[in-house]
Structures are given as C-alpha cells and as structure tokens.
Chain A
C-alpha cells in the first residue's frame, strides 16, 4: 500500500508537489478550497520574463495532475482537522456541497447560460459577473460546474430550479450535503499561496473612489484574451482605450503602517504588464512609480531594460502621495514628488492607474496554521523548522512551500514544491 500524502492548496506549488510525490509513488490527496485547481497562476495572462502565456504552460500541468493515477483531487474542499502524530496523521477533509453530481456533469455549460442569478466573478476579480452555477474559468480542472449555495435562488428560497430543468445529464442535486472524508496520511504539505491586500484600505490611492484605479490582478484579467474584455484593454469608467497608464508599486507593502515586507514579484509583473499593455495598445505611454526596482532573477534586468528601451516604459522613483479622480470621474490625477530633495510636487493625469498591492498569506492560512499547530512569522507567513530544514514546518510531518512561506515567484515556488517532495520521501524513509 502506498503511503498517503495530503497536499493543501491547488496552485502551482501544490500541483508541482503533488506531481512529484505521485511520480515517486505516493498516493496524493490534493485539497483545493475553490472548485478548480490552478490557483493564482491561472489568472495571469503571461509570465515574466519570457512572456510565456501562463495558461499555456499551466494547463498541461493541471491536466497531468488530475489525470495522474496516484493523485486524487478534492476540489471545493477544506482541511478541517488534523489529529495524531507523524507518521500517523488523520486528516479530515470537508468536501463542500457543489449541488452538482460531479460524475454526471459534462461541463457543457447549458445550465450556466440559463441561470438567472448574477454575482461578481472572483476569478475575473469582480470585473464581470458570473452565474450562481458556474465554472470558475474555461480551462478549469475538473471541468465540472458548481452551484454557489450562498446566492442560488433554489438553494436559498426553493424557487427556481432552472438549471435542473436544462441539465440533460441529470447532474443537479439541490439536496446534496457536505461530505467529510478522513485520510490516514503519513505527511502533509501546505501550499496555500497568497491573496491580494484590499487596496481600499489605503484611500489615498483612490481604489474604490476612482473608477479608473484597478489592482494588478484586475489589470492582468483586462489583458487576457479570455478575460472580461476579450483581451481588449479598456478602462472601467467609459470603456475607452487608455493611452496613458501608470503603475504604483509597494501599495501597502514596504510600509510601516501596513505590511513591512516586500512582495517580491510586483516589480517584475508591473514591467511585464507594461510590455503587454504596449502590445495591446501601440501608442500607450506607461509610467511605473517604484521605490527599488527589484529585478533579481534570471533575465530580469534585461527584461526591465527591454521595457524601458523598446517599449518606452518610464520608471519613476517616487511614491505617489495622492490619487484623485480626473475630470468627470474619468482617469486619475496622481500627485508625486520628483527625484531629489529639491524635487517638487507635480500632479500628472493618467487614463488608468494600476495599483500593485501587498500580497498576503492567503486568507484562511492563519486559521489553518492554528488548526495544524504551525508557527507563523510576524508577517503571517509559515515559519520553517530551522536553517537545515527550509521546507519543514514547526510540526513534524508537515512540510511547507511556495508563497505561503515567503513572497516568491513561480520558479522559486516550483523548486520549493519539488523540494518538499524530496523531504517527504526522506522522512518517510526513516530519516529526520
């Protein structure tokens, strides 16, 4: 009987850890809170510094993971409790009711077309709506619909039932209940990734008060061919193509009042998004307001140089003091100090402003850490056991990787995830 490993978090780190563990011969149970694996990387349009299409490189991995003979997916599920001691851990997983029989659903989408309830779409960063019955994104794995019980009329009031009528596969089950499964696991991997800070917590940057202020992940969706605008870069206020674009780095990060740490990836993704914006709109002018340009990875400096020289991106070392709505609520007015102490305050108009907010340990990671008995650092990230064991948590048999440990980019997360697989193999071999 192969030993079982529970991987918590179905983003790229969790997927990679699962794939490696499965290839090693372990029986992997991958637990993902949302209806599909893929995580943050699924929302990205391209990846820096090669501008590889994110979905193009991720999608094969998602499919490989789901199709692996040693991987069992628990999507729309959460780990509720872990009892016992290494290597006899009892992991209780709550598989939330989807109100859809996964075995029967073909993912055809007929139900989605007919569902009368619209709610903001989390995957599209609320730039568009989804239905109460939905697929989180077209390449979702598994490609099965889910009914959002919080908003579904039938579930809430018993009055609707349209999806059940149109489903030819007979997959809709309004009386479905949560299911609880318990796995006897030898080890647990935590790869819970990150969330984005609510940028409206810093009102000076205008998010929420100015229509044409978006956060970076929203902008990523605006660039994406499969995003809410079909890949046409437009601004929210009037749907027009922006010609003057700006990014503000370190919104709520490297900030004593908010989050002190550096989110590690914003300099590079802002550079990437600037290049992509130029590819969408040939005559767009882009400015990036930054503190330090942290381009520390392979090909990153060259990427920034390319943005500056070939794509005309203007890098301005300054932290804007305020953002006001432009005339008639369209565009924004950004006030910032020019270089040097002798520099003066200037106010510049932009058509669209992109904020790069602090990236936080994912919501729920604190509660999960408490449930598992894992230590967090002052910034809320998982603490490693000691310097010799960089991917071990403070609890034996629980390994950690990816953004949940510290802000890091995709290759670093992927490497750590593979590293975790090695550690699982070590400790289950009998080593420490």
Chain B
C-alpha cells in the first residue's frame, strides 16, 4: 500500500482566490491511500518546502502529490525536496491547479474547486502506481558548434575557444561579420565595426580551439544534449561534426520595403543599410529625412524592431557632424532611445538641430516627387500641422525580420519560432538564451533584434550555457525512457518502425526474441508505447496502468458528483 501525501498550494491568492483550498484539502484526505493532505501559502517558498519535507518524514510518505502550478517550471524543485526527504524523485506527481484551473476559471470558483478536486484525484491515482526510478548518465562530447558567423556567433565562438573548448563556427556566407559587416560605425561610440569584427576574427583564427567553416550550411542535426551530430555541407563536401552543445546565432535581416514611400520607384528613397553603404563611401547627403517604423508596428507586423531608432539617430548624427550645412529630419512614432547611451544620442541630435516630427498610423507621411526634388509630406501630431520637407534622400528605417531559412533551421534543430519567425526561447524572462530542448541555445537577433552590446552579451551568455555540460562531462538522462516486457513482447517490430530515434531493435536473449530499447538514444516520447499491440512496451512514469488509473479517477469522481 502506498502512503500518499497531498500538498495543495494557495500561491498567495493566485489559486486561493478562486479555488476553495480547505475544501480541496478535505476532499484529498478522502482519496485512496492518502495519508495526509496539507496546504501551504507558497509551496515553493523555503517555508513551504521545508514543511512538505517534514511532513514526508513525519508521515513516512512514499508518494508525494503537489497541487500547485506547472511542472514545466516547478517540478525540479519539488522533486529535489522529495529526494532530501529520502523519497525517490520519480515518486512525485505534480497537479496543475493554477494555470490549468484557478487562472482560467476566475469567475467560476465553485466549478474550479470541483475541477481541482478531480485533477487531484487523477494525480493521486497516478501517484499510487508510480515506481522509483534510476537515471542513466551519458557522456558529453567536449565540442561546441556555433551556427552563424555574425557578431553574436563570433562572440560566442571566441568565448568558447578562449575557455579552451573546441568550437566549430559555421557560416553560410564566404565572410564573417553578418549584418554588422554592412555597417561602418557602431553607436554610441562611433567606433569602427570593422575593428570589432577584425579583432574577433583574429582571436578565433589564433585559437587552436576554433575552426571556422565558411560557405557552409547545416543540413542535418541529430542526437541530443551531449551527443549531437551536426552535418555541414559546403564546397561540394559534407562533414559530420559530433558536438555536445549547439548555439544558434543566425541573426536577422533588414526588411526590404514593398514599394512603400516610392521605394524602388524613386532613387532618392533608400533603406538604412543602403544609407550605411553610402556614408561609408563618403557619400553624405546634405538633406535627409528618416522615416521610422516602415513595415513595423502596424497590422501584420506589430512588433518594434528595437534598434532602428538608434540606427537613425546614429546616422543622422554622422550627417550633421560631417556637414554643418545639412538638414536632417526624423519622422517617427516614438523615439525608442532606451537606456543611457541612446538617450544621449537623441539629445545630441536635438541639440544639433535634427528635426523630430511625430506621425501616427492614421495619417502616414507621403513621399512626393516635385519638379525640384523629393518632398516628404508629413502631418506632425505635436504641432497639429502638415509639414513639407524638401530633401535629397529619404531613408526608410525598416525592421529586422527573420532570415528566410530560420524555419528550416528550426525544424532541423527541433526548436520553436514565434509568429514572426524569431526563435522562441525557453522562458522570455528567466531563460533568454536557452531553448526548451536541452543543449541547444539561442542568442542575438535570431531571437530578437538586438544592439551590438546586447548581441555580444547574449553570445557570451549562450557560450556560458553551452560550456556547462561540456565542463561537467556528463548529462543525466531523465528516467522517462521506454522498455518492453520480454514476456509480453511478440517481437512484431511495430515499435522499431515507430521510434523516431532508431533506439529500438529486436534482439534475442535467453532464447527469446523481443524489442530492446537503447536508453541513451531513447528520448522518452512514448511513440513506441502506443504502437505496441500487446501492451508490452511501457514508458517509465507514463505507463498504461498509470494513465488508465487517471482516466478511472476522472470517471469515478464525475459519477460521485452526479
């Protein structure tokens, strides 16, 4: 007989304001094998955890159910608490009554309370059947792969190499530097981007730990944390690189206007990067008008691309600093000069006579060809008037958009993207450079448009994260792998075909043919389980007995209600 403890979390008022905790706890006490049911204000606080731990010890619990938030963030914490109390961490079951109950039924406290009871009944049913598990450890290939040779990838690769970790940098172009290579100077210091890239490239080339693959494309990725294999193709040959960790730093690209503001029709209308090229070659316009948010912050592409205002401020300053006779205007919706350095640029630009006009989506500016040149007609919200700006050049500040091959790369690496094609990190607040997939990391503008400093910071961050499994030399595989019961297995081979990881083979042992799972290859998806016609294949922690018991519990608790 199992001895189950149920711990229900108030989460302050997050759960308790909707779910009647006392009632749920009383209900849990009546469930089979439940020895104790308690509640905590914050189960995850040190106080909550220590009270759970004490209860496990005092009541000699051997199964622990916490009804709180989501296992996706909090399971490790409670598992650890179980371990500290001497209970195998796989004897822990999490019930989500916050995200999946209290928060989505705010106005139905009675139903939410009923539902919380049912969810707990299901969790307890499963917990009773849980078994202790041992985790398998696997080794880590002490090599990192960095995909993308722009500023972020260069920074990450240089850091890994400097840490003494063998690193392969994969760049699909023939040169390193990415988008920054098309930019001459970097705000706010106006230092040469070529110097920065040059220094990074020099560091990489001087390191015996770094290998740069130019004109190379990633065509396949297999494996998992510690044991990836990245297939790179280029110059007619293919190379398979074994790696322990992978960093994705493929950057983003400038959005090309689709004819907005006379782009392509009028030679005077250019993008920011075209202006960068002109300024780099000494072609400085006397009069320039920057139009911000071209193709962004509007239906279809709602986001602000973060760095365009700073690019325009920088280039406006380059113009007015070099040509005292210049006349520069920036037409914007909000100037996004967040922080210290950018705000200084904004102030300097204003002080030096750059004119700032504000437009709204209701009345967007027009670029009109007149006899004597180009005129930008803009309704300025601040002064509530139409303003005509004669100019030699119109610079369209367009957003950074995702690379066209981002989705393909996402599929190769099995990592998600958001609706705009930027890669989606594991958690937007606290795991900015990690993916949910272990061993794969994200940095720079491939995740979100980022400034030079931000790209470098993230590149370093990803390098730190990638180095951790490599330094440790091992990863511990979660014990959710599958295995077949040789006595039930008919060696039909359905599972062998079903397994996406080629982790199963039919073997003959002790005169019996059966399906054997390679534990390091198995990723614990359970596909083979559903493919097995004999119920011989079972996934640890998700056995058919355990899941069936949850269904039974739901049926039973529904019947009791009616």
Contacts and interface: CB of A to CB of B under 8 A. Distances in A.
Do the two chains touch directly in the complex (Cβ atoms below 8 Å apart)? yes
Interface of A: 12, 16, 20, 23-25, 47, 49-50, 52-53, 55-61, 63-64, 66-67, 107, 138-143, 224-226, 230-231, 254, 260-262, 264, 292-302, 305, 317, 339-343, 377, 379, 381, 384, 387-388, 390-391, 406-408, 410-412, 414-423, 425-426, 429, 431-432
B418 interface: yes
Among B196, B342, B461, B465: residue with most chain A CB under 10 A? B461
B73 A301 contact: no
Contacts of A421: 461, 464
Contacts of B334: 292-294
B159 A426 contact: yes
Contact of B448 (A58, A298, A391, A422): A298
B467 interface: yes
Given A56-B69, A63-B44, A254 B461 contact: no
Interface stretch (B118-126, B270-278, B380-388, B545-553): B380-388
A20 B430 CA distance: 13
B340 A422 contact: no
Contact of B430 (A61, A66, A226, A264): A61
Contacts of B471: 24-25
Contacts of B343: 254, 260-262
Given A25-B472, A296-B306, A422-B460, 13 more contacts: A56-B44, A63-B49, A64-B77, A67-B80, A230-B13, A262-B338, A262-B343, A295-B304, A340-B383, A343-B384, A408-B339, A418-B464, A425-B163
Contacts of B463: 419, 422
B347 interface: yes
Given A53-B14, A342-B384, A407-B338, A419 B74 contact: no
Contact of B335 (A49, A224, A292, A419): A292
Contact of A390 (B46, B447, B457): B457
B136 interface: no
B297 interface: yes
A264 B453 contact: no
B82 interface: no
Contacts of A300: 303-304
B321 interface: no
A296 B338 contact: yes
A292 B381 CA distance: 13
Nearest to A431: B162
B162 A298 contact: no
Determine which residue in A60, A339, A384, A412 has the highest number of CB atoms from chain B within 10 A of its CB, and name it: A60
B429 interface: yes
B366 interface: no
B437 interface: no
B304 A50 contact: no
A155 B26 CA distance: 46
A226 B12 CA distance: 6
Given A20-B465, A387-B452, A426-B159, A264 B339 contact: yes
21 contacts: A25-B472, A50-B429, A57-B430, A59-B44, A59-B45, A142-B46, A224-B12, A225-B17, A292-B334, A293-B334, A298-B448, A301-B304, A305-B302, A387-B191, A390-B456, A411-B430, A416-B457, A419-B457, A423-B159, A426-B163, A432-B162
Given A56-B69, A56-B73, A298-B422, A260 B347 contact: yes
B428 A298 contact: yes
A70 B448 CA distance: 33
A422 B457 CA distance: 10
Contacts of A411: 428-430, 432
Contacts of A418: 433, 460-462, 464-465
B189 interface: yes
A407 B457 CA distance: 15
A294 B336 contact: yes
Contacts of B465: 20, 418
A388 B338 contact: no
B408 interface: no
B458 interface: yes
A224 B465 CA distance: 33
A298 B458 contact: no
B517 to A, nearest CB: 30
A110 B7 CA distance: 24
**Taking each of B199, B429, B463, which has the highest tally of chain A beta carbons within 10 Å of its own beta carbon?**
B429
B393 to A, nearest CB: 25
Contact of B427 (A57, A226, A432): A57
A419 B461 contact: yes
A268 B366 CA distance: 31
B512 interface: no
Contacts of A59: 42, 44-45
B458 A60 contact: no
Contacts of B462: 418
A294 B338 contact: yes
Contacts of B461: 414-419, 421-422
Contacts of B191: 387
B381 A340 contact: yes
A47 B384 CA distance: 36
B12 A231 contact: yes
A60 B46 contact: no
B340 A410 contact: no
A293 B333 CA distance: 9
Contact of B460 (A66, A292, A294, A423): A423
B525 interface: no
A387 B453 CA distance: 8
Interface string B332-366: 00111111111110010000000000000000000
Given A25-B471, A294-B336, A410 B448 contact: no
A410 B338 contact: no
Contacts of B45: 59, 138-139, 143
B430 A24 contact: no
Contacts of A417: 461
Contact of A407 (B50, B163, B199, B339): B339
Contact of A387 (B189, B304, B460): B189
Interface string B5-18: 00000011110010
A261 B467 CA distance: 36
Contacts of B340: 261-262, 377, 379, 381, 406-407
B12 A225 contact: yes
A419 B339 CA distance: 19
A297 B189 contact: no
A107 B45 CA distance: 12
Nearest to A428: B163
A400 to B, nearest CB: 11
B302 A301 contact: yes
Lowest 3 A-B CB distances belong to which pairs? A419-B460, A225-B12, A418-B461
Contacts of B431: 414
Interface in B175-200: 186, 189, 191, 196, 199-200
Contacts of A58: 430
Nearest to A265: B338
B436 interface: no
Nearest to B307: A296
Given A419-B460, A425-B163, A297 B339 contact: no
Contacts of B74: 56, 60
B239 interface: no
A261 B344 CA distance: 7
B457 A262 contact: no
B201 to A, nearest CB: 12
Contacts of A302: 302-303
B2 interface: no
B48 to A, nearest CB: 9
B424 to A, nearest CB: 9
Contact of A20 (B186, B453, B464): B464
A296 B304 contact: yes
Contacts of A391: 457, 460
Contacts of B433: 415, 418
Nearest to B469: A23
A390 B453 contact: yes
